[in-house]
Amino acid sequence: MNKLTIHHLAKRLPYGVKFVSNGEIFLITDINTIDPFPIWASTRRNKKTLMLEPEINVRPDVLGRGFRLSSIKPILFPLSALTQEITVNGEAFVPIRRILEDSCFDLSKMTDEEINSYAKSEVNVLMSYETAEFFHKYHIDYENLISSGLSISVFDLPENPYK
């Protein structure tokens, strides 16, 4: 894999994926496949708080900024984070434990070693739709975008932007 595509980002759009461009962090709010700047980070001013807030659809009262795919790097958790505690949207959890619980495993009867052994099998075997959606929702890189230099690890930033 040698370049980032809209396909890599579109499946993560509903879950608030963020990216870095020129040292700044942005939230992807729109993808426009016919624009030379297909990735949009749009904001609008909240009339109560006067803060700029993400807005999914570009409207006349929205300030937005388009980006070329080549100028952005999505921020993702590396696959190794499956066995580590991560925080997303204020919720701290260990991803592999959550995946197994969602698959009706009784974790109280398993050792940590047994639980962690499932981390590789979740990706090495044919992945279920639910597991893929879990990875999208919690910004986990299962496509080796980080190791290909197409994405940035959350752990390489001074602060987790998904907290």
Same structural domain for residues 93 and 67? no
- pLDDT tens-digit map of 26-58: 888 888 777 777 787 765 556 666 555 554 444
* Predicted TM-score of the model (pTM): 0.82
Same structural domain for residues 70 and 114? no
Same structural domain for residues 14 and 69? yes
| Count: domains in the chain | 2
- C-alpha–C-alpha distance, residues 114 and 76, integer Å: 25
- Report if residue 24 sits inside a domain: yes
Same structural domain for residues 82 and 66? no
Same structural domain for residues 98 and 133? yes
- Report if residue 156 sits inside a domain: no
Same structural domain for residues 49 and 87? no
- Report if residue 163 sits inside a domain: no
Q: What is the structure's pLDDT at 2?
A: 85
> Quick one: which of 77, 74, 65, 79 has its CA closest to 32?
65
What average pLDDT does range 120-131 have in this prediction?
72
Q: Do 96 and 115 contact (CB within 8 A), yes or no?
A: yes
Question: By residue range, what is the domain housing residue 80?
Answer: 76-147
What average pLDDT does range 62-89 have in this prediction?
88
- pLDDT tens-digit map of 84-114: 999 999 999 999 999 999 888 899 999 998 8
- C-alpha–C-alpha distance, residues 29 and 12, integer Å: 11
Q: What is the structure's pLDDT at 110?
A: 92
Same structural domain for residues 24 and 68? yes
Q: What is the structure's pLDDT at 122?
A: 63
Same structural domain for residues 35 and 45? yes
How far from 121 is each of 55, 60, 132, CA to CA, in Å?
A: 37, 48, 13
